[in-house]
Amino acid sequence: MKRWLLSLLPLLTANWITLLGSIVTTTSAAAMLTIGIAMLLSVDTDQYKAALALLVFPSLFVLGLVVVALGYFVQRLRLRSKGSSVPDPLGDAVRSALSDDRVRRQIVFVAVATVANVAIVAVAATAATSYMNTPAFCGTLCHSVMQPEYDTYRESPHSRVDCVTCHIGPGASWAVKAKVDGLRQVLGVLTGNYSRPIPSPVAELRPARDTCEQCHWPAKFHGNSVAFRSHYANDEDNTQSTTALLLKIGGRDDRTGQFHGIHWHVSPDTEIRYEPLDERREKIGKVQVYSKGELVSEYLPAQPATGPSQEPRIMDCIDCHNRPTHVYDLNPSLAVDRLFDSGDLDKAVPFLHEVATAALTRAADAKIDRASADAWFMDQMAALYREGHPDKSVSDEALASAAASVAKLYRLNVYPDMGLTFGAHFNHLGHRGEDKDRRGCFRCHDDEHATGDGKKISQDCELCHGFLAMDEDPSGMAEPLKALLPQPPPKPQQ
């Protein structure tokens, strides 16, 4: 056996190809072992170390073995071309080994060890696959590119749901498709050839029934829900006005079996097909309604379609809930409203909504550096108070707290290196946009899409919600509504 092993060693250095493969394989094995031990001994797993240990070096290890085999094949061709006999140390060693009982036992041992090694490699491959399915891999390995999506993911209601659950879903075919597409994305990152900002992958998304509906069941979302929408004025008191909506979520009525309300759209007996006129599905052409497989209505837009028609689409959850996780604010004013709602901004600070909105708008327009945002907002908001309200005194402590909250809001919405700012990704859940082509529900419910006999897709507000209060002072609302108002968390005791 020793002579056999020694006879194989020259093959590893027979030419520069086998030598290169030997070096790559040996170095990769040593690196995997070293990094693996370091990961086991460390408290926190470094994502880059994990990528090296589970993806890069195993690939190099296998590549090295392939290169060694290639070099051996080249060496045989070279000897044959010179008319020399091709040595077969491996065959000689096998024939010699099989005639020796002791060596045969060693061969059995090697075979068992090989099976064990295959099992180890299989476990490593499984670990690598699991690692590639983690949010940390998706969000941090290409940090600057995916940082906006990863930051909003961690702030979202889906922050404990793995990215692959929604973006890939169950089944091997979609997993393979995603990994193949991932190679194209890696190449784009390496060459710098990628979109800024990263566009929503609406064309590649799997149907919602295979992803969203693995957890959510629209048929069981029934009844009504109360929602509040608050805005704050640019006055000294940051005056709050709140609208209370009774959202008619609907769904299947257990008594009649019929679908109603907003979730009428997802009835299993109803299918809505529409014609997108742009890649973002913000302009809608023809709309068709099928009931139990039969066409019952066809609505055409008032104006002939002007954009390039996309492939007709069957409406599902994602057509309304198009930003269920990676949510960005539409504009600075609405973003500041959200900070007042959460209690991160204090309504008692005079003109704070006006100053915070102005500072946030200036920062987005100037694309200030994210790393220096805290200091920038502190200086800018102080300057805005001096310029616009010199008679109002705001303590340094209150100003610093507000500036820190606004800076955090800026970093969640603006990524200058990625070309991302307020309004870049529009949320179709509702109709808050001023742009007529980006109005969520009103893309179809515009009172303009009509059938040949004049029936229109209605824009009646009462279809989806009723108004319990309209732009009211919350303190003057009826007591039942006041009890439902979201309350900001209490401030910590000094």
Q: In what order do the strands lie in the sheet with 313-314?
A: 294-299, 284-291, 270-276, 313-314
What is the distance in angstroms between the CA of the first residue and the CA of the last residue of the chain? 78
Domain boundaries, the chain: 2-132, 135-194, 218-325+429-484, 332-418
What whole-number distance in Å separates Cα of residue 71 and Cα of residue 75? 6
Among 275, 253, 247, 170, which Cα is nearest to 214's? Answer: 170
Residue 321 has pLDDT above 80, yes or no: yes
The H or E element that residue 468 is part of is: strand 465-472
What whole-number distance in Å separates Cα of residue 182 and Cα of residue 190? 12
Least confident of 79-93, 127-141, 204-218, 300-314: 79-93
Cβ-based neighbours of 321, under 8 Å, separated by 6 or more: 212, 428, 429
* Omega prior to 197 cis, within 30 of 0: yes
Cβ-based neighbours of 58, under 8 Å, separated by 6 or more: 28, 32, 124, 125, 128
Give the pLDDT band (50/70/90) at residue 7: very low
Among 248, 243, 224, which Cα is nearest to 462's? Answer: 248
Report the pLDDT value the prediction gives residue 463, as an integer from 0 to 100: 86
Residue 344 has pLDDT above 60, yes or no: yes
Q: Which amino acid is at 203?
A: A
What whole-number distance in Å separates Cα of residue 244 and Cα of residue 196? 37
Both tokens of 469, joined, read 């209060």
Residue 211 has pLDDT above 80, yes or no: yes
Q: What is the pLDDT of residues 375-413, one digit of tens each?
A: 999 999 999 999 999 998 889 999 999 999 999 999 999
Please tell me what DSSP assigns to residue 193.
-
Cα 266 versus chain centre, distance: 24
pTM as predicted: 0.73
Decide: 243 and 228 in contact? Cβ < 8 Å: yes
Both tokens of 480, joined, read 């039942």
